[in-house]
Amino acid sequence: MQDFTEKTGITKERYKQMYTSADRGSKWYKNVPKAFIIGGLICAAGQGLNSLYRYIGLSEKTAASTVSITLIFISALLTGLGLYEKIAKHAGAGTLVPITGFANSVCAPAMEFRTEGYVPGVGAKIFIISGPVILYGTLASIAYGLIYYLMH
């Protein structure tokens, strides 16, 4: 197998120079608080919705389910309108709050590949981002369940 230099004609030192000049760098001291605040606001909105739904008379279980549905809907709507990406640009990991981030990871590929048609585009690529999360999350839960079962 050829090494990197033979394949590309670029030395490792030159590649490092190119990488360093293209890297914007991370301003973690700004990004971490923004992610924390925006992620917290998403969670607070969920809690506020829960309180609202309980106030209007839904049971605790029904209110929790309704909050999930509402957050998924809002996330999908914002993704479809192109606003979720703009929020994520500023919030970073704060938008990965599990339910909203997962809804975005399903809707974004559907929006991107819709021009290829329903089956080869949307149908084939809708889980391109979230599929590995589902697969490995399921496998991890099985592994943890087996470990728990064997230890108890």
pLDDT in tens, 108-128: 888 777 777 777 777 777 777
pLDDT, residue 98, reads: 77
- In terms of pTM, does the model score above 0.75? no
Contacts of 130 (CB under 8 A, 6+ apart): 102, 105, 106
Give a yes or no: residue 103 inside a domain.
yes
3 pLDDT above the threshold of 70:
no
Question: Over the stretch 22-57, which tens digit does the pLDDT of each residue have?
Answer: 777 778 888 889 999 999 999 999 999 999 999 999
Give a yes or no: residue 22 inside a domain.
no
85-88 own/partner pairs: CB under 8 Å, 24+ apart: 87/38
Alpha-carbon distance of 114 to 134, in angstroms, equals 22
Could you tell me the residue range of the domain that residue 45 belongs to? Answer: 27-151
pLDDT, residue 134, reads: 81
Is residue 71 very low, low, confident or very high in pLDDT (cuts 50, 70, 90)?
very high
1 pLDDT above the threshold of 60:
no
Closest CA to 87 of 70, 99, 100: 100
Total structural domains within the chain: 1
Give a yes or no: residue 53 inside a domain.
yes
Give a yes or no: residue 19 inside a domain.
no
